[in-house]
Structure 1
Amino acid sequence: MPLGKLFLFSGVVASGTCTLMYFVTQKKFSKTLYYQLALEHLHSHLEALEALGPPVNIHYLHLTDRFNFIDITNAQLKIPVSGSKAKGLLYVRSSKDAPFKRWNLQEVFLELKSGQKIPMFKSNEENRNDTKK
C-alpha cells in the first residue's frame, strides 16, 4: 500500500474512532441517575419551561468544560439546554454517601443566557446546613 494511502486510511480510522468515543461518552452521561433526575426536575418545573419556551432541547455536554466533574461520590454538570424563547445552562450537583449507594441531587438550577437564575431544587440537608451557619 502506498504511504499516502496508508496515512489517509489511518487518519480516517483515527477520526472515526474519536467521533465514536465522543458519542459513546455522551450517551453514558445521559444515562446516569444524576443526569436523569436533573432532567426530570427541568421537565416538571413550570417556570423553567416557560422561560425556555417549548420545545425544550437538551444538548451535548461540553466535555472539556472544567465545571463538569465526576468522581466516586460527587458529580457536577453544566447541561446546555434551549427552547424557542431562550438558551441556558442547567447546573446539577449530586453526591452519594458511599461508592455503591444511590446518587442524591444536592442542587439543580437553570441559568439563562440573559443571566436570570431559576432555582429548581436544593436538598433539605443543604437547607439545614445553611440555617445552622
Structure 2
Amino acid sequence: MRVSTAQLQQLTIFTTVLTGGGIGTMYYLQQKKFIESDYHGLALQKLEACPAAMESLGAPPLKVHNIHLTDRNNCITQHTAQLKIPVTGSKTGGYLYTSSARDPNTKSWSLKHAVLQIREGQTIDLLNHPSPVAAQT
C-alpha cells in the first residue's frame, strides 16, 4: 500500500495542529490553576495592601502576568509554594517573589515571604513594610 506525499503532508499538518492545541490547552489550564490558588491570591492581596509598592509600580491598574513555567523560582509541592509573579503598573514593572507554607492540619496556606523587586532595583518587603497608620504616629 502506497501513501501519497499529499496524504503524508495532511497527516503532518493535522498532527502538528492537534499537538499545538493540546500544549496550548495545558498551558492555559496550568496558569488558571496558579491564579485560582490560595498561595497566589494571598501574595497579590499583600501587594495590593501596600501603598508604597503600588505607588512604585504606578498601580492601580495592576497587571498580573502569566508565571514563567520554566523559571526555577517557581516550585510548588503539597506543603510549600514558591512563586515569582511578574507584575506591572503604569510606571514600571517587576517581580513579586513569594513563599507560602500549608498547614497540614487545616490545609490552609499562609504567606511566609513576599518581596516586590522593581526593575529599577528597588526592593520592598511586603510582610515587614510599615503600615500607613503606623507611619503617621
Question: If the TM-score is normalised by the length of the shorter chain, which range does it land in?
Answer: 0.7 to 0.9
Is 1:27 aligned to residue 38 of structure 2?
Answer: no
CA contact (8 A) 1:72 1:99 kept: no
CA contact (8 A) 1:91 1:110 kept: yes
Structure of higher CA gyration radius:
2
Percent identity between matched residues is 42
Moved over 6 A (4+): none
TM norm structure 2: 0.85
Deviation at residue 109 of structure 1 after TM alignment? 1.2
Is 1:14 aligned to residue 19 of structure 2?
Answer: yes
Q: What corresponds to 1:114 in structure 2?
A: 120
| Structure 1: stretches of 5+ with no match in the other structure | 123-133
Deviation at residue 97 of structure 1 after TM alignment? 3.3
Q: Distance in 2 between matches of 1:115 and 1:99?
A: 39
Q: Distance in 1 between matches of 2:105 and 2:35?
A: 20
What pairs up with 1:39-54 in 2 under 5 angstroms?
39-54=44-59
TM norm structure 1: 0.87
Q: Distance in 1 between matches of 2:25 and 2:67?
A: 15
Aligned length: 122
Q: Distance in 2 between matches of 1:46 and 1:83?
A: 13
Deviation at residue 100 of structure 1 after TM alignment? 6.0
- Code of the residue aligned with 1:77 in structure 2: it is L
Q: Distance in 1 between matches of 2:9 and 2:15?
A: 10
What pairs up with 1:1-133 in 2 under 5 angstroms?
2-54=7-59, 55-98=61-104, 101-121=107-127
| Structure 2: stretches of 5+ with no match in the other structure | 1-5, 129-137
Q: Secondary structure at the match of 1:121?
A: coil
CA contact (8 A) 1:73 1:99 kept: no
Q: Distance in 1 between matches of 2:38 and 2:57?
A: 23
